[in-house]
Amino acid sequence: ILFQVNGHNPDSDAQSGKSLREDLQEFLGREAPLHQLDDLTKVNPVTLETVLRCLQARYMADTFYTNAGCTLVALNPFKPIPQLYLPELMREYHTAPQPQKLKPHVFSVGEQTYRNVKSLIEPVNQSIVVSGESGAGKTWTSRCLMKFYAVVAASPTSWESHKIAERIEQRILNSNPVMEAFGNACTLRNNNSSRFGKFIQLQLNRAQQMTGAAVQTYLLEKTRVACQASSERNFHIFYQVCKGASEDERLQWHLPKGAAFSWLPNPERNLEEDCFEVTREAMLHLGIDTPTQNNIFKVLAGLLHLGNIQFADSEDEAQPCQLMDNAKCSVRTSALLLQLPEDMLLETLRIRTIRAGRQQQVFRKPCSQTECDTRRDCVAKLVYARLFDWLVSVINSSICADPGSWTTFIGLLDVYGFESFPDNSLEQLCINYANEKLQQHFVAHYLRAQQEEYTVEGLEWSFVNYQDNQACLDLIEGSPISICALINEECRLNRPSSAAQLQTRIESALAGSLCLGHNKLSREPSFVVVHYAGPVRYHTAGLVEKNKDPVPPELTVLLQQSQDPLLMVLFPINPKEKTQEEPFGLSRAPVLTVVSKFKASLEQLLQVLHSTTPHYIRCIKPNSQGQAQTFLREEVLSQLEACGLVETIHISAAGFPIRQFLEACREDQTLMGPISPSPEQSPHSEEATLQPLLQDILHTLPALTQATATPGDSDEATPAPVHCGRTKVFMTDSMLEILERGRAQVLEQCARCIQGSWRLYQHRKQQRERRAAVLIQAAIRSWLARKHIERLHTAATTIKRAWQKWRIRMAFLASKELDGVEEHFSQARCSSRSSPKPPIQTRLLGAIIRLWPLGLVLANAATGIQGFQRKLVVWACLQLPRDSPRSYTVQIAQQDQAGVTSIRALPQGSIKFHYRKSPLRYADICPEPSPYSVTGFNQILLERHRLIHV
Ligand SMILES: Nc1ncnc2c1ncn2[C@@H]1O[C@H](COP(=O)(O)OP(=O)(O)OP(=O)(O)O)[C@@H](O)[C@H]1O
C-alpha cells in the first residue's frame, strides 16, 4: 500500500518494509511487558490510553487483577478460574511476609486490610468499598473476601473456640445464598444482579478472630416483585420455589407444574442461581427451620397467585371493578395461602376508604382498574419488603456477635453500580446518588484531602486535577434546593402535580447548576443529571408517587387480619405503630419519603466509612455480553473515566498515602535510631530536627532505599520517599514498608537479645539451683549415713555388750551349775546311804556315771537287740526311772543307725552334763566344767554327733 501511495521503487520498498517491521517489532517489543506491569502507576505515561492498553494486555493474558496505586482494579473474567480462589492461595497471601509483593489479588487487599487492623496506623477499623457497574463482579468479589476472612480469621487457639468460629463463619457464608435468593434477580446486565445494597461488618476480637458479623441492607428494589422489565426476571427465590418444590409441596402451595404466573416472566431460562436446595440448606444453617421455611414459601406462592388477580375496567364508577376470567380462582388461592379472609382481600383491593372531616368520617370509594392494580402490587411489595427485612434480622441475630466480644471490624460494602437505562426513575436516581456519594468519599479520601493536606503541611506539590463531584451532589441532595428537596416537597404538600410541572419546577429552581441538563429531544417530561460517570436522563412521571411509596392503611389492616404465623409476625397488630404507611398529609411528623430514608441511611453508612480506613476495589466489566476473553475498549474506557482511575493513579504515584503525626512517628521510629529530641528542645523545632533524623534513618537502610527506587530513574526524578510536614511525616507505601521492616528487624534483634539474656539468666538460675540441690542432697545423705552408722554402732555395741554379758552370765551359770552338779553329786552319794530312795535326778546322775560306758556300748551295738528292747536295755543300764518318763526323753537311732542318739532331760530343773567329744571316748572320764557347756530347758544330756560302732 505504501508503495502504491508513494510510488517508491522496489529497492526502497524492501528497505521501508524492513524498517516498518522493525518499527512494529519495537512497538510490539514495548507492548509485550505491558501485561507484566502489576501496578498501573508504573505505566509510562499514565493516560487513559496506556492504562487501557495495559489492562487489555493483562486481560488477554488471563491476569485479572491489577493495582492502581491505592486501588485494586478487578476485571471480570466471565469464566470460572478455580485456581485463583483456592484456600491454599488464601493462606499463601495470609502468611506472606509482604502480601503486597505478591501478584495483585483481591486476597492481597483482604490481607492488607486484615493486617491494618493490628497495625498502629489509625483508624484501626477498616472498610473495603467494592464498586463498579452492574455485572462487573462486586458481589463475586465481596463473596471472595468473606471466604478469605473465613479461612484466615479462624480461631487457632483452642479446638472449642475454633469450632465456634467455624460455625459463625459458616453462617456468615450461608447468609450469601439466602440474601442472593431473596435480593438478587436476573437483569439485562447481569444474571445475578443484586437488587439491594449491603454493608457487611465482619467483627473481630482482640486476637483478630472473626467472632460475628452484621449485615445492613439498602434500598431493596421491591417494585420488582410486581413489575419486571421485559427480558428480566423476578427475584430468584420465586423461580427456585416453582422449579425446586417437591410434588407434595406443589400441592400444598398450589403450584402445579407448568402453571403460568404473570409475576414470573421468563421461567424457561434456567440459571445456576435457581438452586432451591442450596437456599433451603443455607436457611437451615441460619436457624430457619423447615416449617418456617415452608411458611415463607407458602406466602411467596400466595404472592404469585395474587399477581394473577386481574381486574376489568368498570364502566360504572360507583361499582367496584370486576374480576377477569380465572381471577376468582387466584383470589381464592391467594387468600388461602396468605390465610386472609377472601372477601376482605377482594374488597380491600377494589374499594378505597377515605377519612374526611373533623369526625374522620369514613367514605368508601370503588377504585379504578389502575388503582386496583396498584393496590394489589402494593400488597405484594409490602409483604416482600417486610419479609426481606425480617430475613435480614434473622440472619443478623444468627451471625451477630455479642457486643462485648468484638473490638474491631472490617466492613465490606457492595452497592449497586452506576445505572443508566433508557428509562430511569427514582430507583436509578437513588442508586446513582449513592454512587456519587461513594465517589465523593473516594475523591475526598484519596484526591482532595491528600492534596489539601500537602498544602497545609507545607509540602511542595504540583496539583493533580481531579473531577470533583460536589456540584453534582449539591444538585441531588443540596439544601435548601435540590432535586431530592423538590421531590420531597411535592410529597409533603401532597398536591396533584403533573410530570411536566415537576420538570419545570426542577429546571427553574436548579437552573444555575452545571450538572443539570435537559434532553430537548425527549418528548416525555424528564431532566438530565450529569453524573461523574456520565449524563443520565430521569423521567419525572411517577417520581413523586414513588417517593411517597404510599401504603393505603386498609392494606396494612388487611394483612394484620392474616392467620398465617409468618404474616402475623410481619404485620403485628400494634395500634401505636405509626409509620410512613400513614397517608400523606394526615401526620404532622416530617414526611418519611423513600429519598429521605435513603439519604439518612446513606449518611449513616458514610459516617461509618469515614471512621475507617477505606480500601477500594474497582470492578470493571470488559464487555456487556458477559463473554470471556472479550475486551471491548470503549466500554472499559467509559468505566475507567467514570471512576476517575487515571487521577487516582497520578496521585498514588506521586503522593504519600501514609502520614503519621510527628509524635507518633518519633515513638514508632525511636527504636531504629537515636531520634529523640533532647529535653530542652522546643516542640517547634521538631520539624527541623526530625527531617535530618529521618534522613539518618534512611542512610542506615541504604540497601532498602535502593530497593524502592525504580531502576533507571535518576535521583532527581525519584521524589524523596519521606517528607516532614509541619505536624506530620509523609511517606510512600514503600517507605513505610522500609521503616516497618527496619523496625521489625530492630524489634527482632531486641527480642533476640531479650530472649538470649532471659535464657542465660534462666540457665544460670538453673545451674545455681542444681548446685544447691546437689549440696543439700549430699548434706542430707551424709547426715542420714551418719545417723545410720550411729544406729548400727549403738546396736553393735548393745549386741556386743549383751553378748558379753550373756557369755559372762553363761560362763557364770555353767561354772555355778557344774560346781553345783559335782557338789550335788557328792551330796547325793553321801545321802544315798542314809535315805532309802534318792530323788530321780540324783539317781539319774549316779546311773550315768556308773553305767555310762556299758549302757552306751549296748545302746550303740550295731547288732543284737532292737527297738523297745534296746530302749529297755538303755533304761536298765542307765537305771532310768520308768515311772517318771516326763523327766527325760530318749531318742533312739533308726534301724540302720542303731544306737541311742540322745537323752534329753525335760524341763525339771537345772541338770547339766558336759561333753566335748564322743561320749564313748570319755565315758570313763569325769566331765569337767567347760566354757562351752550348755544349760537351760531341753538340755542335752547325751548326744551323738556321729555314729561310732563299737
Ligand atoms: N472473579 C470472577 N471469576 C469468575 N466469574 C466472575 C468473577 N467476577 C464476576 N464473575 C461473573 O460475573 C457475574 C456478575 O458478577 P456479580 O454478580 O458479582 O456482579 P455485580 O457487580 O455484583 O452486579 P450487580 O451490581 O448487578 O449485583 C457473576 O455471576 C459471575 O458469573
From the CA of 140, give the closest atom in ligand 1. Answer: 18
Q: pLDDT, tens digit, for every residue of 366-414?
A: 999 989 999 999 999 999 999 999 999 999 999 888 888 888 999 999 8
Higher pLDDT residue, 646 or 223?
Answer: 223
Q: What is the dihedral of CA 301, 302, 305, 310, to 10 degrees?
A: -150
Using the predicted structure, report yes or no on whether residue 486 has a pLDDT greater than 70.
yes
Whole-angstrom CA distances from 696 to 139, 327, 688, 814, 942 are 47, 85, 13, 111, 117
Could you list the residues known to form a binding site for ATP, using ranges: 132-139
Task: Tell me how far the alpha carbon of residue 133 lies from the centroid of ligand 1, in angstroms.
Answer: 10
pLDDT of residue 878: 57
Cα–Cα nearest to 744, from 752, 123, 732, 121: 752
Transcribe 852-909 into DSSP letters.
HHHHHHHHH-SSS--HHHHHHHHHHHHT--SS-GGGEEEEE--TTS-SEEEEEE-SSS
For residue 465, name the pLDDT band (cuts at 50, 70, 90): low
* CATH architecture designation of domain 427-549+593-598: Up-down Bundle (1.20)
pLDDT confidence of 646, banded at 50, 70, 90?
confident
How far is the centre of ligand 1, averaged over its atoms, from the C-alpha of 237 (Å)? Answer: 19
**HSE-up (13 A, CA, CB side) for residue 60:** 13
Of the given ranges (73-87, 151-165, 488-502, 603-617), which has the lowest mean pLDDT?
151-165
Question: In this predicted structure, what is the pLDDT of residue 469?
Answer: 85
Range with the lowest mean pLDDT among 55-64, 218-227, 275-284, 447-456? Answer: 447-456
Query: Of 192, 432, 629, which is best to mutate to test ligand 1, by the most ligand atoms within 8 angstroms of its C-beta?
Result: 192
Residue 123: the pLDDT is 65
- Distance in Å, CA 67 to ligand 1 centroid: 19
Q: How far is CA 943 from CA 15, 203, 213, 682, 920, in A?
A: 147, 106, 107, 121, 11
Ligand 1 atom with minimal separation from the 194 CA: 27
pLDDT at 39: 86
The residue type at 314: S
Q: Indicate the domain borders of the chain.
A: 1-31, 37-125+612-655, 427-549+593-598, 659-799, 837-943
pLDDT tier for residue 907 given thresholds of 50, 70 and 90: very low
Residues 617 and 131: beta-carbon distance below 8 Å: yes
Atom of ligand 1 nearest to the CA of 191: 29
| CB of 417 sitting under 6 A from ligand 1 | yes
Q: Does the Cβ of 134 fall within 6 Å of ligand 1?
A: yes
More confident residue, 44 or 363: 363
- 442 CA to middle of ligand 1, Å? 22
- Of 175-184, 566-575, 827-836, the one with minimum mean pLDDT is 827-836
Indicate if the pLDDT at residue 918 is higher than 50. no
> How far is residue 594's CA from residue 385's CA, in Å, rounded to a whole number?
13
Would the pLDDT of 846 be above 80?
Answer: no
CA angle (823 as vertex; 853, 855 as ends), nearest 5 = 15
Ligand 1 center to 719 CA (angstroms): 39
* Residue 37 pLDDT: 86
CA of 143 to the centre of ligand 1 (A): 10
- At residue 891, φ and ψ (nearest 5 deg) are -105, 130
- Please compute the mean of the pLDDT values over residues 907-913 and round it to a whole number: 39
Mutate-to-test residue for ligand 1 from 59, 65, 78, 416, highest number of ligand atoms within 8 A of CB: 78
**Sheet containing 526-531: order of strands:** 516-517, 526-531, 534-539
> What is the pLDDT, as a whole number, of residue 710?
43
Pocket test for ligand 1, best of 134, 140, 619 (most atoms within 8 A of CB): 140
Tell me the three cell numbers of residue 774. 546437689
pLDDT of residue 517: 83
pLDDT of residue 521: 72
If pLDDT is split at 50, 70 and 90, which confidence band does 674 have?
Answer: very low
pLDDT value, residue 939: 44
Please identify which residue in the block is written with the cell numbers 457486643: 403
Q: Is the CB of 136 under 6 A from ligand 1?
A: yes
DSSP for 631-697?
Answer: --HHHHHHHHHHHTHHHHHHHHHHS--EEEEHHHHHHHHGGGSS-PPPTT--GGGHHHHHHHHHHHH
Is the pLDDT reported for residue 450 higher than 70? Answer: no
Asked whether the predicted pLDDT for residue 917 surpasses 50, the reply is no
Question: Ligand 1 within 6 A of 3 CB?
Answer: no
Which atom of ligand 1 sits closest to the CA of residue 136?
21
Which atom number of ligand 1 is nearest to the Cα of residue 144? 1
- CA torsion through residues 609, 610, 615, 621, sign: positive
Q: What is the structure's pLDDT at 336?
A: 95
Index of the ligand 1 atom closest to the CA of residue 187: 26
Residue nearest to atom 30 of ligand 1 (CA): 78
pLDDT of residue 929: 42
Distance CA 275, CA 271 (A): 8
Ligand 1 centroid–CA 345 distance in Å is: 41
Distance 622 CA to ligand 1 centre (A): 12
pLDDT for the residue 699: 65
pLDDT at position 375: 93
Residue 341 is predicted with a pLDDT of 94
* 179 within ligand 1 shell (Cβ under 6 A): no
What CATH architecture is 37-125+612-655? 3-Layer(aba) Sandwich (3.40)
Burial 145-173 (b: 16+ CB within 10 A, else e): bbbbbbbbbebeeeeebeeebeebbebbb
Residue 192 CA: nearest ligand 1 atom is: 17
Task: Give pLDDT, residue 165.
Answer: 73
Q: Does ligand 1 come within 6 angstroms of the Cβ of 194?
A: yes
Report the alpha-carbon distance of residue 484 to residue 491 in Å, rounded.
Answer: 11
413 lines ligand 1 (CB under 6 A): no
The answer to whether the CB of 176 is under 6 A from ligand 1 is no
CA of 138 from ligand 1 middle (Å) equals: 6
User: Which atom of ligand 1 is least distant from the CA of 132?
Assistant: 21
Q: What is the mean pLDDT of residues 767-792?
A: 94
79 C-alpha to center of ligand 1: Å? Answer: 10
State if residue 416 touches ligand 1 by the CB under 6 angstroms criterion: yes
Atom of ligand 1 nearest to the CA of 137: 18
Residues 787-808 have a mean pLDDT of 86
pLDDT for residue 608 is more than 70:
yes
**Cell, residue 319:** 361499582
What band does 3 get if pLDDT is binned at 50, 70 and 90?
very low
Mean residue pLDDT of the chain comes to 77
Confidence band for 675, pLDDT divided at 50, 70 and 90? very low
Q: Is 77 in the pocket of ligand 1 (CB under 6 A)?
A: yes
Provide the annotated binding site: 132-139
- Ligand 1 atom at minimal distance to the Cα of residue 416: 25
pLDDT at 175: 92
- CA–centroid distance, 380 to ligand 1, in Å, is 29
Mean pLDDT of 242-270: 91
Q: Respond yes or no on whether the N-terminal peptide bond of residue 403 is cis (omega within 30° of 0).
A: no
Q: For 503-533, how does the pLDDT look when each residue is reduced to its tens digit (9 = 90+)?
A: 889 989 998 888 998 667 777 889 999 988 7
- Residue in the block written with cell 547339766: 912
Name the residue at shortest CA distance from atom 8 of ligand 1.
137
**Does the Cβ of 131 fall within 6 Å of ligand 1?**
no
Taking only the tens place, the pLDDT of each residue in 176-196 is 999 999 999 998 888 899 999
- Give, for ligand 1, the residue of 65, 76, 107 to mutate: max count of ligand atoms closer than 8 Å to Cβ: 76
Closest residue by Cα to atom 16, ligand 1, is 137
386: nearest Cα among 229, 245, 550, 556: 556
> Partners of 72 in the beta sheet?
67, 617
By the 8 A CB rule, do 190 and 135 touch?
A: yes
ipTM, two decimals, is 0.99
Give distance in angstroms: CA of 134 to centre of ligand 1: 8
- Tell me, using a 6 A CB cutoff, whether residue 104 lines ligand 1: no
Report residue 495 as a C-alpha cell. 398536591
Look at phi and psi of residue 461 and say left if phi exceeds 0, alpha if psi is from -120 to 50, else beta.
beta
Query: Residues 95-120: what's their mean pLDDT?
Result: 87
Q: What is the distance in A from the centroid of ligand 1 to the CA of 619? A: 9
What per-residue confidence (pLDDT) applies to 433?
Answer: 92
Q: What SS3 state is found at 504?
A: helix
Instruction: Indicate the pLDDT class of residue 650, thresholds 50, 70 and 90.
Output: confident
Whether 76 lines ligand 1, by a CB cut-off of 6 Å, is: yes
Query: For position 208, what pLDDT does the model report?
Result: 82
User: What is the per-residue pLDDT across 728-775, written as a single tens digit (0 to 9) for each?
Assistant: 777 666 666 777 777 778 888 888 999 999 999 999 999 999 999 999
pLDDT for the residue 557: 92
Residue 549 DSSP SS3? coil
- pLDDT tens sequence across 20-40: 666 655 555 554 477 788 888
Tell me what pLDDT residue 301 has. 96
**CA 195 to ligand 1: nearest atom:** 27
Distance 78 CA to ligand 1 centre (A): 7
Q: Which residue has the cell 544406729?
A: 791
3-state secondary structure of 233: coil
Distance (Å) from CA 76 to ligand 1 centroid: 7
Distance CA 239, CA 810 (A): 121
DSSP states of 118-135 as a string? HSSSSP--EEEEEE-STT
Residue with cell 474506557: 637
* Cα–ligand 1 centroid distance for 57 (angstroms): 21
Q: Given the CA of residue 626, which atom of ligand 1 is nearest to it? A: 12
